[in-house]
Amino acid sequence: MSQIRRLVPVVAVVAGLTALFLFGLLRGSPDRNIPSNLLNRPVPDFDLPLFERYMSDFGPRLSLAEARGRPLVINFWASWCGPCYEEAPHLQRAWLDHGEEVFFVGIQTQDRDARAAGRAFIERFDLGFPNVIDDDSRVSIAYGLFGVPETFFVRADGTLQHKFVGPVTESVMREQIGALLR
Amino acid sequence: MTGLRLAPARRARLPALLPALLVAALLATAAAQDRPLDPRVFDIGRELRCPTCVAESVGESNAAIAREMRALIQEQLDAGADRREVLGFFQERYGDWILLNPPMRGMNLLVWLLPVAGAVVGLLVLARLLQRWRRAAEIPVDVDSAELDRVRTEMQDQLGDGAVR
């Protein structure tokens, strides 16, 4: 009996270390879904150059200040980012459905000197909402971006309702835009 | 989308300004990239987590975002900001996550206190074990005399008469 009692702490330590090892093994890549520090706070303004196809409507640059007073969907993407290709059709669909009430803007970021690749990305999905170029990633830093894609849902008063990390889906767009318009 | 259209007068001036703007932007970018960075940039960068990397700091990473962050740190130092202000700038945007030395408050306290608590508990357990072993060594072992005789006989058989007293 005393032998068994003596073994209990050893078994406990081994079991604890095994559990820790398995946790490390199974948890996968680090979780990027960290709540934004901007949550419920006003999102930063930006003034960035537009891709050519939007210049006839907006001029050479787009300033977020001009879109204030409307709910916003701000999507950060890069031409090298696989999941960005996955989500682009959902963004275009949501813009076609809600573009009158919600202002959509795409930001090519963390993708320096890749304007041609950015243009090809936009053409591929025929993105109708304006897309701008954050060549030096300063806006991505101002928004506390961890990677791409990330999508910010901003209320009409300019405060952040939700930041979605990863490729958006139809249901995410429906849920978040529904909350923006309520 | 119509609410964001530019006034016609502003739009008319834009084609003339575009080449000048382009040249200015290229020159500014080239100047920023060519200039060697202050060593303080790397010191501060080593206190910041690279947002797109795994286990790398802004000071060490060669990721595009880390390079931009280093350029931004340089700009802030040039503008007269000190280390604390630069770290605060990034903390405000990314939260405590960006700091490789998390501030000692809230849940972060655990990161600082748990290793100390672990070391203290470990030392206490070790002290207790040593005490128990010492006490066990001091207690005379009560051995049955018949058993003692048996062991003595066996040892004499194996080692010879002079070996065991």
Q: CB-CB: which of A135, A144, A147 is closest to B94?
A: A144
End-to-end CA distance of chain A: give it in Å, rounded: 66
- Cα separation of A165 and A31, whole Å? 10
CA angle, corner A53, sides to A173 and B7, nearest 5?
A: 100
Query: Given an 8 Å threshold on Cβ–Cβ distance, is A138 in contact with B69?
Result: no
Could you list the beta-strand ranges (E) of B17-157.
none
Q: How do A72-77 and A131-134 pair as beta strands?
A: unpaired
Q: How do A47-49 and A61-63 pair as beta strands?
A: antiparallel
pLDDT digits (tens, 9 = 90+) for A123-143: 999 999 999 999 999 999 999
Q: Per DSSP, what are the bridge partners of residue A49?
A: A61
- Cα separation of A138 and B56, whole Å? 20
- Cα separation of A31 and B68, whole Å? 23
pLDDT digits (tens, 9 = 90+) for A80-139: 999 999 999 999 999 999 999 999 999 999 998 899 999 999 999 999 999 999 999 999
Residue B150 Cα, gap to closest chain A Cα (Å): 27
User: Looking at the domain covering B2-98, what would its CATH class be?
Assistant: mainly alpha
pLDDT at A49 over 50: yes
- What integer pLDDT is reported at residue A73 of this predicted model? 98
**What is the CATH architecture of A47-181?**
3-Layer(aba) Sandwich (3.40)
Q: What are B's interface residues with A at a Cβ cutoff of 8 A?
A: 1, 3-6, 10-11, 14, 18, 29, 51-52, 54, 64-65, 68-69, 71-72, 90, 92-95, 97-98
Chain B residues with CB-CB distance to A146 below 8 A: 51-52, 94
- Cα separation of A43 and A135, whole Å? 19
pLDDT digits (tens, 9 = 90+) for A14-31: 999 999 888 878 776 555
Residue B6 Cα, gap to closest chain A Cα (Å): 6
Q: What are A's interface residues with B at a Cβ cutoff of 8 A?
A: 29-30, 34-38, 57-60, 62, 66-67, 70, 99, 103, 110-112, 129-130, 135-138, 140-147
Q: For residue B32, what is the nearest residue in chain A, using CA coordinates?
A: A136
Type and span of the H or E element at A75: strand A72-77
Q: CB-CB: which of B10, B65, B97 is closest to A110?
A: B65
pLDDT digits (tens, 9 = 90+) for B52-102: 888 899 999 999 899 999 999 999 999 999 999 999 999 999 998 899 988
Question: What 3-state class would DSSP assign to A131?
Answer: strand
Residues in Cβ contact with A76 at an 8 Å cutoff, skipping those fewer than 6 apart:
A106, A107, A109, A110, A134, A140, A143, A145, A148, A149, A150, A151, A152
Query: Given an 8 Å threshold on Cβ–Cβ distance, is B93 in contact with A60?
Result: no
pLDDT at B109 over 90: no
Confidence grade of residue B5 (pLDDT, cut at 50, 70, 90) = very low
Nearest to A145 by CA among A122, A111, A171: A111
Mean pLDDT of chain B: 82
* Contact present, A32 and A114 (Cβ < 8 Å): no
| Residue-range domain boundaries for chain A | 47-181
- For residue B14, which amino acid is it? L
| Residue-range domain boundaries for chain B | 2-98, 108-163
